[in-house]
Chain A
């Protein structure tokens, strides 16, 4: 039972991070039906920038928590700029092109970002500077760290903020209108290009925060960390129903829990024929099962052409 609760806690924490990354995928997909392959790399760059800055700031004598906050804000800014740049240079020229074109372009952007990061930060992983002391609390037989609580709190805060932005503001209304019918929205005075750019910027800023969270959770950041995380987050977005914002949140948490419980129990269930080294398979299995049986996802509306 203790193991169950422990895995549940770990799963929910990791799932919250997936959810934040998945929001970026789902928002972009909802508006321009593009799987932004490079989104995972933004998470990685967010983590790398923040880690570097935290190290720099603490060496200058800035105390722990303010350093983390300041570095995260800078990482958000860098990622937002990158997100805007990639939209302008790689995706906007391809609007109206056949569907595969922007997707292939996105793969290219992902390779470019990954290897630029390799040039800047080298192959060696960056260790998370120990600026906040890890403390552990007991919860029904499981251990919960303050970092996990922080990740959960920040994720919920950001998801709430995004929900407010999308459902309660003028910009959000424009976003939803563009995603439903770009031509009609344009006729009614919505500047579609601006809305799309803003969507990329918001998604990228969220990715930066997710990068800091996942980096502090695992304690390291490396130039390769983005692609696997991005893929899982995409699976989460599909699980919840791509293009659907509450769906991405639900899908992220669910995927995190499935992954943690699966990795925790697969050994017992299969007499150790399969071990926890198959953890990464679960996300893809979930993805394939969802796409076969319910392509619109858990919360997605049924749209014939969408899948």
Chain B
């Protein structure tokens, strides 16, 4: 059994090593992408950056939902925590201007702390209760962000925090345009490369985690908690770890969101966002890192594509806009969740283990 898991785990990397040309092509395409997109307008580079942020978020949530099987409906709270930590430590709001490489770990740590805070009282609960408690937790965080503008002004309330510092590395300011090798690197393009680098690191961590002792413990807890405990897994600790790890990824993504946008408010961290990240994980394939990335990319490029197609199409056919693209997007989300659960419960790109546990009419680990 152990040998089997090991060989499956390492299968990915050798496959890459055997195809140096393919890997080189993908790397080149990813490096050239922002310049191609910038040809279509800087807006598309920004959209891509946000999409990468959502990939980061989905990978974080995937640890909690996909690996450990704990349904978290308040995940956006950790994104909010990371974003606010960055905003408070790098803006004129408190007059603190720390560099981003110092703040991001702090944001990850604080988010992880919130993850433990949420996890500790709820770990006894079974899946569906946990979902509701996490949802409530997400709402509580948002309500506090909204109201901590008085009597002591911590979050500046619903007005949010303005003029957040952009990322700077040495003399390199990510808000300005620089030119290297005769090419103009605008702010969004630079953020793209930074995010891409972070994404590679996060994917690597996730791949290693999944096949580590911890990852297999998560899988065991997900499939059958009682059996896992019987095999000597400290289920409480391992579940807390899933919460903390997932939350820390959310915290890092939140910090980057703050730096890129320059402005945040509680409006950005509503329940719908949590549901959207969940939809990305579920649609792509819970537990499969590549599936989750696919799901996140699909659903984050959906709104801009809808905006550019639905509106002109409706105006062409009906003379005016009947249905807002936003509404169509949400309807697609809703139907995607229902249809995926009904017809393809493992997602578009199911995880190998998920495939086993979801197949068959009985389902679950007991058949």
Report which A residues bind B (CB closer than 8 A): 33-35, 89-90, 93-94, 96-105, 107-112, 114-116, 118-119, 227, 231, 234-235, 238, 272-275, 277-278, 280-281, 283-285, 287-288, 291-292, 295, 305-307
Contacts and interface: CB of A to CB of B under 8 A. Distances in A.
Consensus secondary structure, chain A interface: helix
Nearest to A101: B341
B132 A35 contact: yes
Contacts of B342: 90, 93-94, 105
Interface stretch (B32-40, B229-237, B357-365): B357-365
14 contacts: A35-B132, A97-B341, A99-B127, A103-B131, A105-B337, A107-B73, A111-B331, A111-B333, A111-B334, A115-B330, A119-B323, A281-B140, A288-B122, A295-B129
Contact of B335 (A103, A108, A273): A108
Interface string B162-178: 00000000000000000
A280 B139 contact: yes
B336 A108 contact: yes
B363 A97 contact: yes
B188 interface: no
Consensus secondary structure, chain B interface: helix
Interface residues of B, number: 47
Contacts of A285: 140
Interface in B145-177: 146-147, 151
B43 interface: no
Residue among B131, B146, B337, B361 with the highest chain A CB neighbour number at 10 A: B337
Interface of B: 69, 71, 73, 121-122, 124-129, 131-133, 135-137, 139-140, 143-144, 146-147, 151, 271, 275, 278, 282, 323, 327, 330-331, 333-338, 341-342, 345, 357-358, 361-364
Given A33-B128, A115-B327, A283-B136, 8 more contacts: A100-B69, A104-B278, A105-B337, A115-B331, A119-B327, A235-B136, A284-B136, A287-B136
Given A35-B132, A118-B327, A231-B132, A96 B361 contact: yes
B135 A281 contact: no
B334 A109 contact: yes
Contacts of B121: 288, 291-292
